[in-house]
């Protein structure tokens, strides 16, 4: 995989904040029983994804903002698509829209929480690219591969 240098793009792709390569979630978003499962550590650089117990409680506030946005978008879309229908149509459409986007809302809320408040910053030495500095610490996975080969 091509390394991602931008933290914003890595966040959009739900990648590890330190190496920008490891996936934050173990299963795809459409797996409705396991879409919230995160590995304990990054499979590439082994940074801990939950810095402290209960860390992701704060993601509720981010999730709330996403839900309000979904309510607004769903309400406006219903208004224009159905030409100001009855109230029950609004309730049905907005509820459906919020439920459909719930897995993505949860994932991006957790990712934003980890990127902003996890105190983990991007470090290119954990990327697979060769480092420009000769004295830098080698990638742990590369050294493991050297031992095996």
Q: Tell whether residue 93 is a contact of Zn ion (CB under 5 A).
A: no
Q: Tell whether residue 42 is a contact of Zn ion (CB under 5 A).
A: yes
Shortest Å, Cβ 127 to Zn ion? 9
Cβ closer to Zn ion: 15 or 66?
A: 15
Q: Which of 38, 45, 70, 111 binds Zn ion (CB under 5 A)?
A: 45
Q: Tell whether residue 120 is a contact of Zn ion (CB under 5 A).
A: no
Shortest Å, Cβ 45 to Zn ion? 3
44 burial type by CB count under 10 A (0-12 exposed, 13-18 middle, 19+ buried):
buried
Which residues lie below 8 Å from residue 53, measured CB to CB, with a gap of 6+?
none
Q: Tell whether residue 10 is a contact of Zn ion (CB under 5 A).
A: no
Give Cα 92 distance to the centre of its chain: 28
Which one-letter DSSP state was computed for residue 23? Answer: B
Alpha-helical (H) ranges within 5-86 are 7-12, 59-82
Binding mask 14-33 for Zn ion (x = CB under 5 A): --x-xx--x-----------
């Amino acid at each position: 995989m091509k390394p991602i240098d931008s933290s914003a793009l890595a966040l959009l792709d739900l990648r590890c904040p330190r190496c920008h390569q490891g996936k934050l979630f173990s299963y795809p978003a459409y797996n409705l029983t396991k879409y919230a499962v995160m590995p304990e550590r990054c499979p590439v650089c082994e940074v801990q994804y939950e810095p402290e117990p209960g860390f992701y409680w704060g993601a509720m506030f981010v999730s709330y903002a996403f839900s309000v946005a979904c309510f607004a978008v769903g309400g406006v879309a219903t208004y224009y698509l159905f030409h100001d229908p009855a109230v029950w149509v609004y309730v049905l459409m907005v509820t459906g829209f919020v439920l459909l986007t719930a897995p993505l809302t949860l994932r991006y809320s957790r990712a934003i929480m980890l990127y902003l408040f996890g105190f983990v910053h991007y470090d290119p030495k954990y990327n697979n690219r060769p480092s420009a500095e000769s004295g830098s610490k080698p990638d742990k996975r590369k050294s493991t591969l050297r031992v095996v080969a």
